[in-house]
Amino acid sequence: MEYVKATYEACRLSSGRIWLDLMEAILIEAFEKELGLTLPADYKATLLDYPFAGEHTGTEMLVNDLSLLRSWNLPARPQGKKRAKKTDPREGYFMIGSDCSETVFFIDPKRKSSPVWYYEMETGKFELYVASIREYLDKCAKIDAGEELYPNEASNIPEWLKTIYAIAIFLGFILFGWLVYKLVVWFQIKMGVL
C-alpha cells in the first residue's frame, strides 16, 4: 500500500490527469482489498470525480480521505471477554461521512448501486435517507446552500401543531408573569408595604 501511495504522489506531482485518475482507481482498488469488500460503482465513480472542495458541507457528508474512511470502517477488534450485546443496525454497512455532529451516513457495499442511510447516535435511529448517491450529492448541495436541513434537524411535526405549541408557550409566559405579580402584591400586603 505504501508503494501505491508513493507512486500516486509521484504521478500527482509530475504528470497529467489521466495518470492521476489511474492512480486514484488503483488506490481505491487497494483500499477495497484491504477492507475485504467491493464498493458500489456509483460511489467509486463519485470518489474518482469528487464534486466538493473547501468548506462545502459535502466534504464532511461524503468524505474522500481513504485513511479516514479506513479508520471508520475497519472491523472492531474484540476487547476482553465477550458480552452479549444488541445487534448493531449499522453492521455490514460502509460509513461515508457525517454531519460533524451525531448523524453518520452509510452505503451498502453489497449493492452495485447503493442508497444512502443515516444513523443518529443519540436516538439509535437507522433509516433510509436517499435512494442513490446522485440524490445524496444533490442533498449535500441543498444543505450547503441552506435550502434543506440535515435529517436529524428536519421535523415531521405539522405546522398547525407547531403554531398551537408556540401559542401555548406565549400564554404560559403571560400566566407566569401574572402569577409573579400576584405573589409580589400578596407579599407586600403581608409585609405591610401596601
What pLDDT does 99 receive? 85
Contact status, residue 119 vs residue 103, Cβ threshold 8 Å: yes
d(CA 149, CA 57): 11
Give the amino acid at 50: Y
**Nearest CA among 40, 46, 45 for reference residue 59:** 46
What pLDDT does 11 receive? 47
CATH classification for the domain delimited by 39-74+89-154, as one of 3.40.50, 3.10.450, 2.60.120, 3.30.70: 3.10.450
d(CA 39, CA 44): 7
Phi, psi of 156 (to 5 degrees): -105, 20
**Nearest CA among 78, 69, 80 for reference residue 105:** 69
d(CA 169, CA 162): 11
d(CA 94, CA 108): 6
Q: What pTM did the predictor assign?
A: 0.64
Contact status, residue 39 vs residue 28, Cβ threshold 8 Å: yes
Sites in the chain below the pLDDT cut of 70: 1-23, 76-87, 152-157, 194
Contact status, residue 35 vs residue 73, Cβ threshold 8 Å: yes
Contact status, residue 137 vs residue 58, Cβ threshold 8 Å: yes
What pLDDT does 83 receive? 57
What pLDDT does 19 receive? 45
Tally Cβ neighbours within 10 Å of residue 156.
4
What pLDDT does 182 receive? 94
d(CA 129, CA 141): 15
d(CA 186, CA 13): 81
